[in-house]
Amino acid sequence: MEDTYDVVVVGGGPGGEVAADRIVQSGLTAVVVEAEAVGGECSYRACVPSKALLRPGAAREAARSVDGARQAVTAALDPARVLARRDRFTGRGDDTGQADWLNSAGVPLVRGHGRLAGECRVEVTGADGTVRTLRARRAVVLSPGTEPALPPVEGLDQVGVWTNRQATTADAVPERLVVIGGGVVACEMATAWGSLGSAVTLLVRDQALLTGWEPRAGEEVARGLTALGVTIRFGVSALRVARDGATRTVTVETDDGAVLACDEVLAAVGRRPRTADLGLETVGLPAAGWLQVDDTCLVTALDGDWLYAVGDVNERAPLTHMAKYQARACAAAIAERASDRSADTGGWQAWSAQADHVAVPQAVFTRPEIASVGLTERAAREAGLTIRAVEHRIGDVAGAALYADDYRGYAKLVVDETRGVVVGCTLTGPMATELIHTATVAIVGEVPLERLRHTVPAFPTVSEVWLRLLEAYGL
């Protein structure tokens, strides 16, 4: 059986959904192939459930940060209600709503495992083993996402290790949890389960958390985790793990000679592309690995303009919001090329994915929250920019002091002195994740500081920190 569409999209996560929708809006036809749940990892086992787990603890802390409200908050979190609230957001993996949305957008859904079977052809193997072939007139868009990468720890694959999937969907709070890793997933899940009463130990191979961020961000997260009762062991790696068949207790041996006992182990050390069974070899590409793309998300290692890759699999900016952004650029490029109009009409060039070079916003919902966009001071210097960095304590702003007693937060701007524009910003503290978009607009818009000084923040809001940062710069 063979069906033909203008575009075949393999992967129904955020990038795949948006790409298919935008392609149909352009007047072309598209179909989505998905083997698991429409909506992807983010909707059911990552961003959405993790934030649902994190929010109750943050809300409780926010109430307790204000005198007068603090006295009214005397109980601990209710784990059963927290987990039930999370399940309301995820539907426990039921993708009916997402599938219905695709249908309403005019995008057919083919359930099954899709893999390339030559140029512009995708074979889909259904759950019952039947094979269906889809042919693309114009393009194939690959959006398979990524999967957790396990560290080389002896026995880890035999203990029922948690990855982000189990950590965000577990039905009970582990009494003791060991987390291997020091990145975003490790820090957020240590925060979430620590808030719910788990005794968490974080094993961090490096000497800091969140090593790709400004150093202050990792320091503030470490402080917050410690205050929550999480034990952080820097410079320590797990060597081997084993689970007792009778007690179900897991023992973790580390390279400094310690032996830790816990109920679950979470491995959060990174991700790898889900390309091993994608049929890349049928079109002359390596059978596995990351897919390199240009700013229209066209795969660069292949001749022609028919194969695209959006989202985490292209390794440009592995974040849900950036996958959606890339999908819009990709769909615009496909529609423009299909119309045979020249590039100078401003279509795909106007929509090429440029922001994921210079202005990728990141939000981490630890306590304190941290957020960043653009370059760190170190990255800017390594890029050869002539920069100046300015900092300000957010707690010194009147709006922050009113928001929370003893508000603790930090703001840093990285300025390109040659052009007089902001190229990086890092924020920590309550509301940091909501404040970062202002910096994103300034960076993407390349707003001159001389102009930015006229964007007057309302008083008394936390956003007034922008005024203080510009004053610190000398404006």
Residue 47 has pLDDT above 70, yes or no: yes
Its sign, for the CA torsion 282, 284, 289, 295, is negative
pLDDT tens digits along 417-461:
999 999 999 999 999 999 999 999 999 999 999 999 999 999 999
Signed CA dihedral, 205, 207, 212, 216: sign only:
positive
| Type of residue at 164 | N
How far apart CA 146 and CA 46 sit, in angstroms, is: 12
In a domain, 468, yes or no: yes
Q: Is 250 helix (H, G, I), strand (E, B) or coil?
A: strand
* Same-domain status, 327 and 432: no
Q: Do 209 and 140 fall within a single domain?
A: no
122 shares a domain with 220 = no
- How many structural domains does the chain have? 3
Q: Which two tokens stand for residue 124?
A: 């889909």
Of 376, 468, 365, nearest in space to 422 by CA: 376
Name the one residue in this structure whose structure tokens are 């052009």: 419
Residue ranges of the alpha helices (H) in 339-447? 348-351, 355-358, 377-382, 398-403, 432-444
Condensed to tens digits (0 to 9), the pLDDT of residues 310-327 reads: 999 999 999 999 999 999
Report the CATH number at residue 222. Answer: 3.50.50.60
Q: Give the Cα separation of 60 and 201 in Å (integer).
A: 23
Q: CA angle, corner 434, sides to 429 and 435, nearest 5?
A: 75
User: Do 172 and 238 belong to one domain?
Assistant: yes
Task: State how beta strands 271-273 and 146-148 pair.
Answer: antiparallel
pTM summary value: 0.95
Tell whether 396 and 446 lie within a shared domain: yes
Provide the terminal-to-terminal Cα distance of the chain, rounded to the nearest Å: 67
Q: How many CA atoms lie within 13 A of 336 on its CB side?
A: 19
The answer on pLDDT for 84 being more than 80 is yes
Q: State the chain's mean pLDDT as an integer.
A: 95
Q: In this structure, what are the phi and psi dihedrals at residue 20, rounded to the nearest 5 degrees?
A: -65, -45
- Domain range spanning residue 405? 368-473
Q: Are 316 and 425 in the same domain?
A: no
User: Could you tell me if 457 and 464 are in contact, meaning their C-beta atoms sit under 8 angstroms apart?
Assistant: yes
Cβ(466)–Cβ(436) below 8 Å: no
**pLDDT value at residue 343:** 45
DSSP element (H, E) containing 331: helix 320-338
DSSP line for 343-354 = GGGSSHHHHS--
- State the average pLDDT over residues 383-400: 97
